[in-house]
Amino acid sequence: MNGLIDWGIAGRIADLAATGDSPDPGDGEALEAAVDEATGAVEHYTGLESTEGVPDPEWVSRRQWAQINLDSLRQAIAPLEERLLSGPSLPGPISGGLNAVLGSLAGAQVGALVGYASRRVLGQYEFPVLGPERRPRLLFVAPNLEEARRELGGEPETVLRWIALHEVTHAVHFGAAPWLRDHLRWLANELLSGSRLALGPSEVAELAKRAAGTDPRRWLGELLSSDPITLLAPPESRALINRTQATMASVEGYAEHVMDAAAPQLGEEIGDLRFALE
Protein backbone atom coordinates (compact mmCIF):
# COMPACT_ATOMS: atom_id res chain seq x y z
CA MET A 1 0.00 0.00 0.00
CA ASN A 2 1.55 3.30 -1.11
CA GLY A 3 -1.25 5.69 -0.11
CA LEU A 4 -3.68 6.40 2.68
CA ILE A 5 -6.26 4.00 1.24
CA ASP A 6 -5.54 0.38 0.45
CA TRP A 7 -7.08 0.33 -3.02
CA GLY A 8 -6.53 -3.40 -3.37
CA ILE A 9 -8.79 -4.04 -0.39
CA ALA A 10 -11.25 -1.43 -1.70
CA GLY A 11 -11.48 -3.25 -5.02
CA ARG A 12 -11.99 -6.66 -3.43
CA ILE A 13 -14.67 -5.42 -1.03
CA ALA A 14 -16.48 -3.56 -3.82
CA ASP A 15 -16.38 -6.68 -5.97
CA LEU A 16 -17.93 -8.74 -3.17
CA ALA A 17 -20.58 -6.11 -2.48
CA ALA A 18 -21.57 -5.82 -6.16
CA THR A 19 -23.50 -9.08 -6.07
CA GLY A 20 -26.23 -10.26 -8.39
CA ASP A 21 -24.65 -9.18 -11.66
CA SER A 22 -26.60 -10.21 -14.74
CA PRO A 23 -24.72 -11.96 -17.55
CA ASP A 24 -26.97 -10.13 -20.03
CA PRO A 25 -25.29 -6.86 -21.05
CA GLY A 26 -28.55 -5.34 -22.24
CA ASP A 27 -29.95 -4.41 -25.63
CA GLY A 28 -27.43 -2.13 -27.32
CA GLU A 29 -29.80 -0.94 -30.03
CA ALA A 30 -32.53 -0.08 -27.52
CA LEU A 31 -30.04 1.87 -25.42
CA GLU A 32 -28.78 3.89 -28.38
CA ALA A 33 -32.35 4.62 -29.48
CA ALA A 34 -33.33 5.79 -25.97
CA VAL A 35 -30.31 8.10 -25.75
CA ASP A 36 -30.93 9.55 -29.23
CA GLU A 37 -34.58 10.19 -28.38
CA ALA A 38 -33.70 11.83 -25.06
CA THR A 39 -31.04 13.99 -26.70
CA GLY A 40 -33.56 15.32 -29.19
CA ALA A 41 -36.12 16.07 -26.47
CA VAL A 42 -33.64 17.89 -24.22
CA GLU A 43 -32.11 19.91 -27.05
CA HIS A 44 -35.55 20.84 -28.36
CA TYR A 45 -36.74 22.16 -25.01
CA THR A 46 -33.55 23.90 -23.87
CA GLY A 47 -32.19 25.11 -27.20
CA LEU A 48 -28.82 23.76 -26.05
CA GLU A 49 -26.58 21.58 -28.17
CA SER A 50 -23.53 19.76 -26.89
CA THR A 51 -20.39 21.04 -28.59
CA GLU A 52 -18.68 17.70 -27.99
CA GLY A 53 -21.65 15.45 -28.61
CA VAL A 54 -23.36 13.19 -26.11
CA PRO A 55 -21.04 10.31 -25.14
CA ASP A 56 -21.79 6.92 -26.62
CA PRO A 57 -23.93 5.01 -24.09
CA GLU A 58 -22.40 1.96 -22.44
CA TRP A 59 -24.01 -0.99 -20.71
CA VAL A 60 -21.97 -1.94 -17.65
CA SER A 61 -22.28 -4.53 -14.91
CA ARG A 62 -22.25 -3.64 -11.23
CA ARG A 63 -18.66 -4.74 -10.91
CA GLN A 64 -17.63 -2.70 -13.93
CA TRP A 65 -19.40 0.38 -12.56
CA ALA A 66 -17.69 -0.08 -9.20
CA GLN A 67 -14.26 -0.41 -10.82
CA ILE A 68 -14.78 2.66 -13.01
CA ASN A 69 -15.74 4.77 -10.01
CA LEU A 70 -12.98 3.41 -7.78
CA ASP A 71 -10.46 4.30 -10.49
CA SER A 72 -11.91 7.82 -10.74
CA LEU A 73 -11.86 8.24 -6.98
CA ARG A 74 -8.28 7.03 -6.75
CA GLN A 75 -7.14 9.54 -9.37
CA ALA A 76 -9.16 12.31 -7.75
CA ILE A 77 -7.67 12.00 -4.30
CA ALA A 78 -4.12 11.12 -5.34
CA PRO A 79 -2.90 14.71 -4.69
CA LEU A 80 -4.61 14.64 -1.29
CA GLU A 81 -2.87 11.39 -0.36
CA GLU A 82 0.47 12.76 -1.53
CA ARG A 83 0.16 15.89 0.59
CA LEU A 84 -0.95 14.00 3.68
CA LEU A 85 1.85 11.46 3.37
CA SER A 86 4.41 14.25 3.02
CA GLY A 87 3.42 15.72 6.39
CA PRO A 88 4.72 14.83 9.87
CA SER A 89 4.30 11.23 10.94
CA LEU A 90 5.06 9.00 13.86
CA PRO A 91 8.60 7.59 13.94
CA GLY A 92 9.81 4.23 12.73
CA PRO A 93 7.68 1.09 12.48
CA ILE A 94 4.85 2.68 14.48
CA SER A 95 4.06 4.96 11.58
CA GLY A 96 4.16 2.18 8.99
CA GLY A 97 1.99 -0.14 11.05
CA LEU A 98 -0.58 2.53 11.85
CA ASN A 99 -0.75 3.65 8.22
CA ALA A 100 -1.30 0.06 7.12
CA VAL A 101 -4.14 -0.47 9.60
CA LEU A 102 -5.83 2.82 8.78
CA GLY A 103 -5.30 2.23 5.06
CA SER A 104 -6.98 -1.16 5.31
CA LEU A 105 -9.90 0.29 7.26
CA ALA A 106 -10.29 3.13 4.78
CA GLY A 107 -10.05 0.72 1.86
CA ALA A 108 -12.74 -1.51 3.33
CA GLN A 109 -15.01 1.46 3.96
CA VAL A 110 -14.56 2.94 0.48
CA GLY A 111 -15.00 -0.46 -1.15
CA ALA A 112 -18.19 -1.17 0.80
CA LEU A 113 -19.68 2.22 -0.08
CA VAL A 114 -18.88 1.94 -3.79
CA GLY A 115 -19.99 -1.68 -3.89
CA TYR A 116 -23.30 -0.80 -2.25
CA ALA A 117 -23.80 2.11 -4.65
CA SER A 118 -23.18 -0.22 -7.59
CA ARG A 119 -26.38 -2.05 -6.65
CA ARG A 120 -28.46 1.14 -6.60
CA VAL A 121 -27.23 3.33 -9.46
CA LEU A 122 -29.26 3.07 -12.66
CA GLY A 123 -27.28 5.40 -14.88
CA GLN A 124 -24.45 7.90 -14.62
CA TYR A 125 -22.99 10.77 -16.61
CA GLU A 126 -19.46 10.20 -15.38
CA PHE A 127 -16.59 12.66 -15.66
CA PRO A 128 -13.57 13.45 -13.46
CA VAL A 129 -14.03 16.44 -11.18
CA LEU A 130 -10.43 15.97 -10.04
CA GLY A 131 -7.49 14.21 -11.59
CA PRO A 132 -6.52 13.92 -15.26
CA GLU A 133 -9.05 15.20 -17.77
CA ARG A 134 -10.70 12.70 -20.09
CA ARG A 135 -13.84 12.36 -22.14
CA PRO A 136 -17.03 11.86 -20.08
CA ARG A 137 -18.83 8.53 -20.17
CA LEU A 138 -22.53 7.67 -20.21
CA LEU A 139 -23.04 4.52 -18.15
CA PHE A 140 -26.12 2.36 -17.64
CA VAL A 141 -26.06 -0.46 -15.07
CA ALA A 142 -27.94 -3.32 -16.72
CA PRO A 143 -28.92 -5.48 -13.69
CA ASN A 144 -30.13 -2.45 -11.74
CA LEU A 145 -32.35 -1.30 -14.57
CA GLU A 146 -33.87 -4.77 -14.73
CA GLU A 147 -34.53 -4.72 -10.98
CA ALA A 148 -36.09 -1.26 -11.24
CA ARG A 149 -38.36 -2.49 -14.01
CA ARG A 150 -39.56 -5.41 -11.87
CA GLU A 151 -40.15 -3.21 -8.82
CA LEU A 152 -42.02 -0.54 -10.78
CA GLY A 153 -43.91 -2.99 -12.94
CA GLY A 154 -43.11 -0.99 -16.05
CA GLU A 155 -42.06 -2.01 -19.51
CA PRO A 156 -38.28 -2.37 -19.99
CA GLU A 157 -38.29 0.20 -22.79
CA THR A 158 -40.15 2.78 -20.69
CA VAL A 159 -37.79 2.49 -17.73
CA LEU A 160 -34.77 2.70 -20.02
CA ARG A 161 -36.12 5.78 -21.80
CA TRP A 162 -36.72 7.58 -18.50
CA ILE A 163 -33.24 6.86 -17.15
CA ALA A 164 -31.74 7.86 -20.49
CA LEU A 165 -33.57 11.20 -20.25
CA HIS A 166 -32.15 11.73 -16.76
CA GLU A 167 -28.53 11.12 -17.77
CA VAL A 168 -28.73 12.78 -21.17
CA THR A 169 -30.02 15.96 -19.53
CA HIS A 170 -26.72 16.23 -17.66
CA ALA A 171 -24.71 15.28 -20.74
CA VAL A 172 -26.31 17.96 -22.91
CA HIS A 173 -26.06 20.60 -20.18
CA PHE A 174 -22.36 20.03 -19.52
CA GLY A 175 -21.57 19.44 -23.18
CA ALA A 176 -23.22 22.71 -24.23
CA ALA A 177 -21.46 24.66 -21.48
CA PRO A 178 -17.91 23.26 -21.21
CA TRP A 179 -17.02 26.07 -18.83
CA LEU A 180 -19.33 24.50 -16.24
CA ARG A 181 -17.25 21.34 -16.00
CA ASP A 182 -14.10 23.48 -15.86
CA HIS A 183 -15.70 25.59 -13.12
CA LEU A 184 -16.47 22.53 -11.01
CA ARG A 185 -12.92 21.28 -11.47
CA TRP A 186 -11.59 24.68 -10.41
CA LEU A 187 -13.78 24.71 -7.30
CA ALA A 188 -12.68 21.19 -6.38
CA ASN A 189 -9.01 22.02 -6.86
CA GLU A 190 -9.35 25.22 -4.84
CA LEU A 191 -10.98 23.30 -2.01
CA LEU A 192 -8.23 20.71 -2.12
CA SER A 193 -5.37 23.19 -2.24
CA GLY A 194 -6.89 25.26 0.55
CA SER A 195 -7.53 22.36 2.88
CA ARG A 196 -5.50 21.90 6.02
CA LEU A 197 -3.98 18.60 5.01
CA ALA A 198 -0.80 18.57 7.07
CA LEU A 199 -0.87 18.37 10.86
CA GLY A 200 1.49 20.50 12.88
CA PRO A 201 3.23 19.20 16.02
CA SER A 202 0.63 20.70 18.37
CA GLU A 203 -2.20 19.08 16.42
CA VAL A 204 -0.42 15.73 16.43
CA ALA A 205 -0.01 16.00 20.19
CA GLU A 206 -3.67 16.86 20.65
CA LEU A 207 -4.76 13.89 18.53
CA ALA A 208 -2.46 11.61 20.52
CA LYS A 209 -3.90 12.92 23.80
CA ARG A 210 -7.45 12.34 22.60
CA ALA A 211 -6.62 8.84 21.40
CA ALA A 212 -4.93 7.92 24.68
CA GLY A 213 -7.73 9.30 26.86
CA THR A 214 -10.66 7.85 24.93
CA ASP A 215 -12.05 4.43 24.18
CA PRO A 216 -10.12 3.63 20.96
CA ARG A 217 -13.21 2.16 19.31
CA ARG A 218 -15.19 5.31 20.02
CA TRP A 219 -12.37 7.56 18.84
CA LEU A 220 -11.95 5.58 15.62
CA GLY A 221 -15.71 5.60 15.04
CA GLU A 222 -15.82 9.37 15.42
CA LEU A 223 -12.91 9.74 13.02
CA LEU A 224 -14.41 7.49 10.34
CA SER A 225 -17.87 9.06 10.61
CA SER A 226 -16.65 12.66 10.46
CA ASP A 227 -17.50 14.86 7.51
CA PRO A 228 -14.22 15.00 5.53
CA ILE A 229 -14.91 18.52 4.33
CA THR A 230 -15.37 19.73 7.90
CA LEU A 231 -12.26 17.86 9.00
CA LEU A 232 -9.98 19.12 6.26
CA ALA A 233 -11.22 22.57 5.39
CA PRO A 234 -10.04 25.57 7.42
CA PRO A 235 -12.61 28.23 8.40
CA GLU A 236 -11.54 30.49 5.55
CA SER A 237 -12.68 27.83 3.07
CA ARG A 238 -16.29 27.94 4.23
CA ALA A 239 -17.30 30.49 1.58
CA LEU A 240 -15.80 28.28 -1.14
CA ILE A 241 -17.64 25.25 0.24
CA ASN A 242 -20.90 27.18 0.17
CA ARG A 243 -20.17 28.31 -3.39
CA THR A 244 -19.55 24.73 -4.48
CA GLN A 245 -22.74 23.50 -2.86
CA ALA A 246 -24.71 26.32 -4.49
CA THR A 247 -23.29 25.42 -7.91
CA MET A 248 -24.25 21.77 -7.52
CA ALA A 249 -27.73 22.70 -6.30
CA SER A 250 -28.19 24.89 -9.39
CA VAL A 251 -27.02 22.11 -11.71
CA GLU A 252 -29.34 19.55 -10.15
CA GLY A 253 -32.28 21.93 -9.94
CA TYR A 254 -31.95 22.89 -13.59
CA ALA A 255 -31.72 19.23 -14.59
CA GLU A 256 -34.88 18.38 -12.64
CA HIS A 257 -36.75 21.19 -14.37
CA VAL A 258 -35.57 20.13 -17.83
CA MET A 259 -36.50 16.50 -17.24
CA ASP A 260 -40.00 17.44 -16.12
CA ALA A 261 -40.45 19.78 -19.09
CA ALA A 262 -38.99 17.43 -21.71
CA ALA A 263 -40.65 14.23 -20.50
CA PRO A 264 -44.04 14.89 -22.19
CA GLN A 265 -42.28 14.84 -25.56
CA LEU A 266 -41.49 11.17 -24.90
CA GLY A 267 -45.06 10.13 -24.13
CA GLU A 268 -47.47 10.01 -21.21
CA GLU A 269 -45.96 6.81 -19.83
CA ILE A 270 -42.67 8.62 -19.11
CA GLY A 271 -44.47 11.21 -17.00
CA ASP A 272 -46.31 8.46 -15.13
CA LEU A 273 -43.02 6.73 -14.39
CA ARG A 274 -41.53 9.98 -13.13
CA PHE A 275 -44.44 10.28 -10.70
CA ALA A 276 -43.97 6.67 -9.55
CA LEU A 277 -40.29 7.26 -8.82
CA GLU A 278 -40.96 10.26 -6.56
Interval 134-147: pLDDT, tens: 889 999 999 999 88
pLDDT of 201 > 50? The answer is no
Average pLDDT, the chain: 78
Choose between 90 and 184: higher pLDDT: 184
Q: Is the pLDDT of residue 107 over 70?
A: yes
Of the pLDDT bands very low, low, confident and very high (cuts 50, 70, 90), residue 3 is low
Q: What is the pLDDT of residue 83?
A: 66
- Answer yes or no: are the C-beta atoms of 11 and 74 closer than 8 Å: no
Helical packing angle, 178-194 and 62-85, nearest 10°: 40
pLDDT tens digits, one per residue of 54-68: 999 999 999 999 999
**CB count, 10 Å around CB of 184?**
18
- Lowest mean pLDDT across 125-134, 183-192, 232-241, 263-272: 232-241
pLDDT at 42: 96
> What is the average per-residue pLDDT within 76-98?
60
Q: How far apart are the C-alpha atoms of 42 and 272, rounded to whole Å?
A: 18
pLDDT at 44 over 50: yes
Residue 216, pLDDT above cutoff 50? no
Strand order in the sheet with 57-60: 57-60, 137-141, 123-126
Amino acid identity, residue 187?
A: L
Could you report the per-residue pLDDT of 221-269, keeping only the tens digit for each?
444 344 444 444 566 677 787 888 888 889 889 999 999 899 888 887 8
Separation CA 42–CA 168 (nearest Å): 8
pLDDT score at 55: 94
- Model confidence at 186: pLDDT above 90: no
Ramachandran angles phi, psi of 233, nearest 5°:
-90, 130
The answer to whether 46 and 99 are in contact (CB under 8 A) is no
Buried b (16+ CB within 10 A) or exposed e, 147-161: bbbeeeebeeebbbb
Q: What is the dihedral of CA 263, 269, 272, 277, to 10 degrees?
A: -80
Say how far apart CA 108 and CA 102 lie, in whole Å: 10
Residues in the chain: 278
Residue 213 has pLDDT above 80, yes or no: no
DSSP of 181-243: HHHHHHHHHHHHHHS--S--HHHHHHHHHHHHTS-HHHHHHHHHHS-HHHHH--GGGHHHHHH
Among the residue ranges 18-32, 43-57, 94-108, 151-165, the one predicted with the least confidence is: 94-108
